Structure 1
Amino acid sequence: MTDTPLEFGDPSDLEQLRGEFRGWLAENPLPERGADEPVPVFLHRWHKQLHSGGWVGLDVPEEFGGRGLTTLHQVAISDELGAQQAPGVPRIGYLAQALLKFANDEQRRRLLPRMLAGDDVWCQGFSEPGAGSDLAGMSTVAEKRGDHYIVRGQKLWTSYAQYSNLCLLLARTDRDGVAHKSISAFILPLDRPGVTVRPLKAHNGDDEFCELFLDDVRIEESELIGNEGDGWPLAMTTVSYERNALDTGHLSKYGLLVERLRAVVGERGNDLPDGLRSEVGRCFVDYEGLVAHTRRRIAERIAGVEAPFDSSIDKLLMTRTEQRLYETAIKVLPEALYEDGNEVFAEYLYSRAASVYGGTSQIQRNIIAKRILRLPS
């Protein structure tokens, strides 16, 4: 958990909300995961449990199934979950914000309450075999035919599609248009004829990712979200939440580990090589820099500042902080390498993918260079 309050003119009830949530967590702890229970099934149980307590969609208007509070209230809950080392608020929160901004009222009233309650399970149909980090290069096409579209293409890395019933799908609706302005977003029921979901099993046995094949799939005009061409800004809205370490609860988790490493240095400092003590110091600097940056980004959101490409900065800073922190941790805490179930080592292994998933670091640097710094190609 961040060690000082979020300094944005915090609502007077924010600390009270944190206290209420801590009390609720004490009485409703994270359930145990069954021995053979798939991760998404476990996370869905946790989602339903959080929703039953009123802790999902705090910043979603009441008419759409939320509590009608503010961004800071939702961020505070995410921060508390991270401090408890619990899974964060369900990732559908990112999609909920996209629907709030781009969907029409009928779609919001129909979809958001069920999304927040976990009655519908969503996945994201964004990346493709030839357009992963470079999302604008997608080739999936939605061809308009009267009152509906026919969609053809393939999606890849679609997380937990086999456990989902709805997909937020991106497809190109203008083959000749500018790449970023010709992508549209759709609601796709995954039981629709022509949809094939094929899980991909990793070497460690996980089946997190799926291929999604779309063979002449009919999507109704009423299932278009927003207008044609709104797909890119909708996707940027989604990733702006996904890449903010305060929204996801990662910031407080990083803070706990930083303090743990600092304590070890305080206890065993003379036994540690100078270089390793310096690495812990760099982790602290990275963390404090990320704290300041994420607070600035939340303040910009509250002020209504639109900065669609700044999420690339968020992604790079979060990746650097996470990878350096866990790489340093297994040096300072070598027992993490051989203790069964040690979370530090597990997080270290997963952190290696941070520079790839959600947009590679190389692509994010290109976006920053071209779209923010306006450097010549």
Structure 2
Amino acid sequence: MDYSDDPEVAEFRAGLRAWLRDHLDEHRDATGYESAESVERTLRWHRALAVAGYVGLSLPAAYGGHGLPDLYEAVLNDELATAGAPPPPPIGHIAHAVADFAGEDLKTRVLPGLLGCTEVWCQGFSEPGAGSDLASLTTTAAPDGDRFVVDGQKIWTSGAMWSRWCLLLARTERDEPRHRGLSMLVVDMESPGVDRREIVLASGSREFAEVFFDGVEVPAANLVGERGQGWRIAMHMLSYERGPADMGWVGRLGRVLAAARDDVRSGRLPADEPLRRRLAAASVDLRVLQWHVARSLADRDPGGSAGSVDKLLTTRIEQNLHHVVGDLAGTSFVLGDPAPYGDYLWSRAQSIYGGTQQIQRQIVAQRVLGLPRG
């Protein structure tokens, strides 16, 4: 594959670099979810990117996107990483699910706010008894005339505390087995019966919440796709959620790496030859990830197994990078600025969310390598 830019991509890249030179300084601290102020800074950055035309690059222009090839998402992440900028909003998985499966009316109603970052969304999948085994979820959406009535609980819901909408996976077909009984709904988080409870992580982040639904009424017009199609849509979403470019992971890791290199070059962090070599290896790893993402996006197969390869590679690179950063910092990693240590703790979760390492390896073994089950 030729990794050099064609003229259109080069023009886009140059424009993005110019915009970042003019606007990045006022948004450099727009990362983190430790307080209401940090959340607002992050959301302000997302809105700035959207206004400038850098959100929803690969989504249809008719609904607020830009209709560009998927490769542009990789270019965006590359340039944000190089500039040490905060990552883009992690909404690609939700946006593509709505764009690819929802009816025309629903897409027209909700996608412009999502892609304009004027309305925040969350994803309601995991439950206390249904994490990796998502098909065993028990949240129900009982059909009742022109509406569904939702009852149940979701947990580890990112951004739920400040989201207006939730893309909810729930059981609508009680008589159908596991996967076949699930449907996807767009739920207004301000509806009566929605109760959000914050979860504070060991890192100090307040990004997660558990959400309770008690007789929440959802219009039937908010059904994404068809009844019983929820599992297919969920797997489609997970192929995007596992993508480093779609969720902004390349940008996040680039920001961490750039800060570490600056600290070493300036002498703020002393580093002997072995540590410098490990930092250099982490730089090479990230470049490999960027090239791998560009190749994956050039020939994307939503719902395929490539997302599992992406997820495994991203996990290894992210966790290794944070190990190197911790060893560079020494005792100050734990006793000093809490942000780097919080990032390290967060990196450990990369092995779990979006599908555990074990599940990703199973998918690769069976669907990529053709190995037998069991």
TM-score between the two structures when normalised by the length of structure 1 = 0.84
**Which deviates more from structure 2 when the two are superposed, residues 60-69 or residues 276-285?**
276-285
2:119 equivalent in structure 1 = 120
Q: Which residue identity does 2:170 align to in structure 1?
A: A
2:372 equivalent in structure 1 = 375
Aligned-pair distance for 1:38? 3.7
For structure 1, list consecutive stretches of 5 or more residues without a partner in the other structure: 1-5
- Counterpart CA distance in 1 for 2:92 and 2:128 is 26
Q: 23, 26, 37: which one pairs with 1:28?
A: 23
1:326 equivalent in structure 2 = 322
Aligned-pair distance for 1:277? 7.5
> Which aligned pairs between 1:148-227 and structure 2 lie closer than 5 A?
148-227=147-226
Aligned-pair distance for 1:188? 0.2
Q: Deviations over 1:155-181 (max 9, x none)?
A: 001112121111110002223434333
Q: Which residue identity does 1:129 align to in structure 2?
A: P
Q: 309, 313, 319: which one pairs with 1:317?
A: 313
> Which aligned pairs between 1:21-60 and structure 2 lie closer than 5 A?
21-29=16-24, 30-31=26-27, 32=29, 37-60=36-59
1:350 equivalent in structure 2 = 346
Q: 14, 28, 52: which one pairs with 2:9?
A: 14
Q: Which residue identity does 2:85 align to in structure 1?
A: A
For structure 2, list consecutive stretches of 5 or more residues without a partner in the other structure: none
Is the partner of 2:246 in helix, strand or coil?
helix
Q: Which residue identity does 1:296 align to in structure 2?
A: R
1:234 equivalent in structure 2 = 233
- Counterpart CA distance in 1 for 2:255 and 2:165 is 36
Q: Which residue identity does 2:153 align to in structure 1?
A: Q
Q: Which residue identity does 1:142 align to in structure 2?
A: A
Aligned-pair distance for 1:325? 2.1
Aligned-pair distance for 1:138? 1.2
CA contact 1:167–1:190 (8 Å) conserved in 2: yes
CA contact 2:202–2:342 (8 Å) conserved in 1: no
- Counterpart CA distance in 1 for 2:43 and 2:352 is 25
- Counterpart CA distance in 1 for 2:111 and 2:228 is 22
Q: Deviations over 1:46-91 (max 9, x none)?
A: 1111122122222222221122322222331222112222222212
Q: Which residue identity does 2:19 align to in structure 1?
A: W
TM-score between the two structures when normalised by the length of structure 2 = 0.84
Is the partner of 1:355 in helix, strand or coil?
coil
- Counterpart CA distance in 2 for 1:279 and 1:9 is 27
> Which aligned pairs between 1:280-319 and structure 2 lie closer than 5 A?
283=282, 286-287=285-286, 290-301=289-300, 305-319=301-315
1:94 equivalent in structure 2 = 93
CA contact 2:102–2:224 (8 Å) conserved in 1: yes
Q: Deviations over 1:313-348 (max 9, x none)?
A: 322221111112221333245376268438654432
- Counterpart CA distance in 2 for 1:242 and 1:358 is 7
Aligned-pair distance for 1:254? 4.3
- Counterpart CA distance in 1 for 2:255 and 2:157 is 31
The number of residues matched between the two structures is 366
CA contact 2:120–2:163 (8 Å) conserved in 1: yes
Aligned-pair distance for 1:363? 3.1
- Counterpart CA distance in 2 for 1:201 and 1:256 is 24
Q: Which residue identity does 1:194 align to in structure 2?
A: G
CA contact 1:195–1:214 (8 Å) conserved in 2: yes
